[in-house]
Structure 1
Amino acid sequence: MNRYNISLQVFNLLSFIFSILVVLLATLYPFNFSVPNEFFLPELFASFNNTSYFQDQVNNVLLFIPLGFSFTSLLQRFRIKLLLQILLVILVGAGLSLTVEFLQIFLPSRMPTPADIMNNSVGGFFGFVCFYLWNIQSLNNTINCLGFSKSRRPIKQITVFFLVYIFLTVLISLFWQSTTNLSNWDVNYPLIIGNERTGNRPWEGYVSEVYIADRAISINEVAQGLTDSSYLNKLGDSLLANYQFKGKCCYQDKTGKLSELLWQGKPSDRTEDKGVFLDSSHWLQTATPVTSLSERISKTSEFTLSTIIATANINQIGPARILSVSGDSQRRNWTLSQQGNGLDFRLRTPITGENGTELKLNIPNIFIDTNPHHIVITYSRATILIYVDKLQNYYSFNLLELIPKKQKLFYYALTFIPLGTALAILTLLAERRLQFSKLLVFGGILIPSLILEGILISDSGKHLSVKNLLIGIGFTAGTLLILRVRAAQFKRSI
């Protein structure tokens, strides 16, 4: 081994160590660790119950790209096989991320987030892709070492590789399904009426009743519920809460499943036909967290909320919290609130974040008077339906269709750039079979986008989006084209 190769390996090793140090500095600084005297496993696991915002997801991917790049460069010097390189890069990224997330438990200024482990692992893989985009000779050498370019590979074996590629596409698409479920709900939050748990988001108005169920009721059931709220008692075991606000105290859940609502601040002495009066000095909170409610809804990923409310001020901001299952002003499972004269609804899902603010759900001109309004909200398969007073007056939101453009491009890049890389490797293996290679190219570019869009349509009820299809095709084809051009440039240079 000559002096140049030794120096290059030392440089690669130092780059890898430096990238690890950068990750540790960015994720653990200011290193103000606080170790408790005793460890309790439930509290340990509960500390991981956080989700990251979109900007955090972007940063977590970018942070691990240098790590994946430098580690791939180090592995390539040892002539490790391509698939093993990919596996090692992902494992090292996931291992370092898991270590960081565990250490963040003992940092008051940090919140460990399971999703960060996946984002960091993807960032490491992107570093792997960037290395081969920069040094295509390594990819060609690796493929040559595998023996794929020395003779024609049997079509059956190439077909198997292609089927594995399609299977990988299905797995990634199924992961998209999980972005709109409610499995990330925190079971330690109480039900709060008229404020936030911290007391800094008061709402001024009246609430006369609250019903909550663990399934999305049908249109016919909504119509009957709007006509007569007591109809919702017929939901049987699906009904998780039924609070009626008559009198000044003792607001028990009539289903017997949740604890009673207790006054926070001082008890209100105002009760009218509109219900109980709430303001900055008077609000209600369950005596204990509504654990059973959150657990049931997180399992079904469906719910129905029915309430009759009347604002006392048609221009409240904050947003002013009307009903909420939340921990503080930054963490919640769901919140119904008033912003100006509009109705805001926040829902915690993997795609909307732990504060439910990544996607905006706002209906203007709902609180234009101080009359009581009957609000019914259902959620199922990524779709939120909000009915106001009558069945014909409804609003529909599909979470997947509300994703902002920049956020959608980021998610599609995470999905289709790895697939484009895999397709490039697959077509290099089959390049001596020209007709079959062309079939792989066209099929490999089109099928992943069709599979993803088809699964999302069937699961969430969203509309077919040609734009989404083109975005997926663009990322897959673009990655494939860049890798193929780089491979062709390398061949011409030797």
Structure 2
Amino acid sequence: MKQGKKFFQKLTPFGKGIFTKDFFMVFGSIIVVLLATLYPFNFSLPYNFSIRNISSQFESTSNFTDQVNNIILFIPLGFSLSSSLQKRKIPLIGKILLVFLGSAGLSLTVELLQLFLPSREPTPADIINNTISGLVGLLCFYLCHSQNFDSILTSIENSTLGRSTQKITLFFSGYILLVFAVSTIWLGTTNLSGWNLNYPLIIGNEKTGNRPWQGYISKIYIADRAISKNEVEKVFAEENYFHTMGNSLLTSYKFTEQCCQPEEPAKSPKLLKKKLWWEQLSENQQGQGVFLSPGNWLETAKPVTSLNQRIRETSELTISTTVASSDTQQTGPARIISISNGPLRRNFTLGQEGTALDLRIRTSLTGENGSELKMRVPSIFTDTNTHHIVLAYSKGILQVYIDNSTHFHSFRLLNLIPKEQQLFYYAITFIPMGICLTILIVLAKRKIFLYRFFIFGGILLPSLILESILVSENGKNISLRNFLLGIFFTTSTMLVLRLRALMVLKKTAV
């Protein structure tokens, strides 16, 4: 019996016995994750469920609140797993791998289970965030245990890497490459690769029928590239300019009192009449297009998959439409044009909020509802006159033109990020940089020139590189504040770790 008990204890990573403190910590962390991500557990089999449809479900993007929650949620799991693994004679790299696999495995399980929850959408970015969060938990464990922290720093300082200038320089090159990799991730936050392929095109409402717009619409053009300002001038001057765009023009509709036939049937899916339809237009309404109201709107019979796919590939978009509101106080915002699956999930929406034009476009920054960043053009629907609206999106910049090329508004997504959200993004970007820089400094301790260079270059370069790339590639304004913010998080992390190391040395000396 005793031999069997000893054998069973060896199999458990939690030390002696099953129900130890570490077991309860790990078990409790898992229960908290499951409750936070799956409650109220109203599981059901999705309509038309198949293996093929599973991949199409993994196309959602996280909003800011979800990202914060995911980062916080998995830190206790990484901490408790690290604590339990510490009692086993496993190398540090093995512990890192096990925490990585444990965090990623639980996160993947949660995302797969969310396929069967109508109120949830699986998000690939959550798996990455949760895995990183688990590794942060491991780091927190070692920072809280001085002996472990001291042994890690000592092993780094005494390693063969610290005696080779070439290897230290190579490690610094990897540090700079990491900065460029992180900058690429930043650029990806404004692209349209998260657009859902399964959303239909809806005009005058939401799919659920609870965001109606009342007014007239006569034309819609949608293209998979952002047109230039010179082209915008031609759009306002030439009625049929979009037909010169060739394959870039994805769909086009010209509405009359006969309603819903597309201009190019081969490209544009037929729009179906929803609810009751209108009576014959009166004489003074002729030429304004079709009338949309709470009882009358249009929707494609199937998702506009091809259109969504093309825009996902180019991450660019142009939409031109001619509309006239019948009520200057419509809110919701009332949906004029929407590529969506309901009031909370969309790829794009052009709507009316009072007299303002409300715009929503799905990116990692704006979330699956496109509403995390506010984009509104004021004083557009102050009358019931016809307005020609043209918008173009590319590289995080949304340009909106009203009636002519001189009346325009520009929205730069990265400049619209709220301050508290910027702090979070810069923290998760530059705290890892500070950790890497600390390792570099410990390695270069014997090389005075490299040591000094790494302190100044390692602090300044990451923030400088990121800010330069965002300004040149994503239309972001130069921001001294953001530049200093990156320096602050990198330096603070390095100083905290170095201070912790000094405290460990003092305790050891005593």
| Correspondence 1:217 to 2:217 | no
**Are residues 369 and 154 of structure 1, via their aligned partners in 2, closer, same or farther at CA, if it must alter by over 3 Å?**
same
Deviations 1:109-131 (CA, angstroms, capped at 9, x unpaired): 43222111011112112212222
**Are residues 13 and 440 of structure 1, via their aligned partners in 2, closer, same or farther at CA, if it must alter by over 3 Å?**
farther
Query: What is the match of residue 301 of structure 1?
Result: 315
Contact 2:156 2:443 (8 Å CA) reproduced: no
CA distance in 2, matches of 1:353, 1:151: 43
**Are residues 376 and 250 of structure 1, via their aligned partners in 2, closer, same or farther at CA, if it must alter by over 3 Å?**
closer
| Correspondence 1:435 to 2:449 | yes
Query: What is the match of residue 20 of structure 1?
Result: 30
Q: 2:278 aligns with which of 264, 268, 277?
A: 268
Query: What is the match of residue 352 of structure 1?
Result: 366
| Correspondence 1:363 to 2:363 | no
CA distance in 1, matches of 2:177, 2:88: 30
Matches for 1:352-431 after TM superposition, within 5 Å: 352-431=366-445
Matches for 1:270-285 after TM superposition, within 5 Å: 270=281, 271-285=285-299
Letter of the aligned partner of 1:268 in structure 2?
A: W
- Report the alpha carbon displacement of residue 376 of structure 1 after superposing the two structures with TM: 0.5
**Are residues 8 and 223 of structure 1, via their aligned partners in 2, closer, same or farther at CA, if it must alter by over 3 Å?**
farther
Matches for 1:187-336 after TM superposition, within 5 Å: 187-254=197-264, 256-269=266-279, 270=281, 271-336=285-350
**Are residues 464 and 255 of structure 1, via their aligned partners in 2, closer, same or farther at CA, if it must alter by over 3 Å?**
farther
Question: Secondary structure in 2 aligned to 1:188?
Answer: coil
Question: Secondary structure in 2 aligned to 1:283?
Answer: strand
Deviations 1:91-116 (CA, angstroms, capped at 9, x unpaired): 32111101111122223443222111
- Report the alpha carbon displacement of residue 423 of structure 1 after superposing the two structures with TM: 1.3
CA distance in 2, matches of 1:182, 1:151: 42
Deviations 1:258-282 (CA, angstroms, capped at 9, x unpaired): 2112211122223522211111111
Question: Secondary structure in 2 aligned to 1:332?
Answer: strand
Structure 1 length as normaliser, TM-score? 0.94
Letter of the aligned partner of 1:201 in structure 2?
A: R
Q: 2:74 aligns with which of 64, 85, 96?
A: 64
Deviations 1:417-450 (CA, angstroms, capped at 9, x unpaired): 1111121122122223333222112111111111
Q: Percent identity?
A: 51
Contact 1:79 1:142 (8 Å CA) reproduced: no
| Correspondence 1:114 to 2:128 | no
**Are residues 81 and 453 of structure 1, via their aligned partners in 2, closer, same or farther at CA, if it must alter by over 3 Å?**
farther
Between 1:175-184 and 1:153-162, the stretch displaced more is 153-162
- Report the alpha carbon displacement of residue 287 of structure 1 after superposing the two structures with TM: 2.4
Structure 2 length as normaliser, TM-score? 0.91
Letter of the aligned partner of 1:230 in structure 2?
A: N
Contact 1:253 1:259 (8 Å CA) reproduced: no
Contact 1:122 1:414 (8 Å CA) reproduced: no
CA distance in 1, matches of 2:462, 2:347: 33
Between 1:256-265 and 1:338-347, the stretch displaced more is 256-265
Letter of the aligned partner of 1:432 in structure 2?
A: R
Deviations 1:11-60 (CA, angstroms, capped at 9, x unpaired): 33442333223222322334444357995112222232322221111111
**Are residues 411 and 36 of structure 1, via their aligned partners in 2, closer, same or farther at CA, if it must alter by over 3 Å?**
closer
**Are residues 432 and 251 of structure 1, via their aligned partners in 2, closer, same or farther at CA, if it must alter by over 3 Å?**
same
Question: Secondary structure in 2 aligned to 1:116?
Answer: helix
Contact 1:76 1:138 (8 Å CA) reproduced: no
Between 1:412-421 and 1:136-145, the stretch displaced more is 136-145
Query: What is the match of residue 126 of structure 1?
Result: 136
CA distance in 2, matches of 1:458, 1:243: 36
**Are residues 435 and 257 of structure 1, via their aligned partners in 2, closer, same or farther at CA, if it must alter by over 3 Å?**
same
Contact 2:156 2:439 (8 Å CA) reproduced: no
Contact 1:417 1:479 (8 Å CA) reproduced: yes
Letter of the aligned partner of 1:213 in structure 2?
A: A
| Correspondence 1:483 to 2:483 | no
Contact 1:216 1:379 (8 Å CA) reproduced: yes
Contact 1:129 1:421 (8 Å CA) reproduced: no
| Correspondence 1:144 to 2:158 | no
Q: 1:171 aligns with which of 154, 177, 181?
A: 181
- Report the alpha carbon displacement of residue 331 of structure 1 after superposing the two structures with TM: 0.8
Deviations 1:108-159 (CA, angstroms, capped at 9, x unpaired): 4432221110111121122122223322431220233456269952211111
Which sections of structure 1, spanning at least 5 residues, go unmatched?
none
- Report the alpha carbon displacement of residue 354 of structure 1 after superposing the two structures with TM: 0.9
Letter of the aligned partner of 2:266 in structure 1?
A: G
Question: Secondary structure in 2 aligned to 1:390?
Answer: coil
Letter of the aligned partner of 2:296 in structure 1?
A: H
Letter of the aligned partner of 1:384 in structure 2?
A: L
Query: What is the match of residue 73 of structure 1?
Result: 83
Question: Secondary structure in 1 aligned to 2:208?
Answer: coil
Between 1:42-51 and 1:93-102, the stretch displaced more is 42-51
CA distance in 2, matches of 1:77, 1:147: 24
Contact 1:251 1:262 (8 Å CA) reproduced: no
Question: Secondary structure in 2 aligned to 1:284?
Answer: strand
Between 1:375-384 and 1:101-110, the stretch displaced more is 101-110
**Are residues 146 and 487 of structure 1, via their aligned partners in 2, closer, same or farther at CA, if it must alter by over 3 Å?**
closer
CA distance in 2, matches of 1:28, 1:283: 35
CA distance in 1, matches of 2:93, 2:459: 21
Query: What is the match of residue 92 of structure 1?
Result: 102
Letter of the aligned partner of 2:407 in structure 1?
A: N
Contact 2:15 2:88 (8 Å CA) reproduced: no
Question: Secondary structure in 2 aligned to 1:180?
Answer: coil
Letter of the aligned partner of 1:121 in structure 2?
A: T
- Report the alpha carbon displacement of residue 236 of structure 1 after superposing the two structures with TM: 1.0
Question: Secondary structure in 1 aligned to 2:405?
Answer: strand
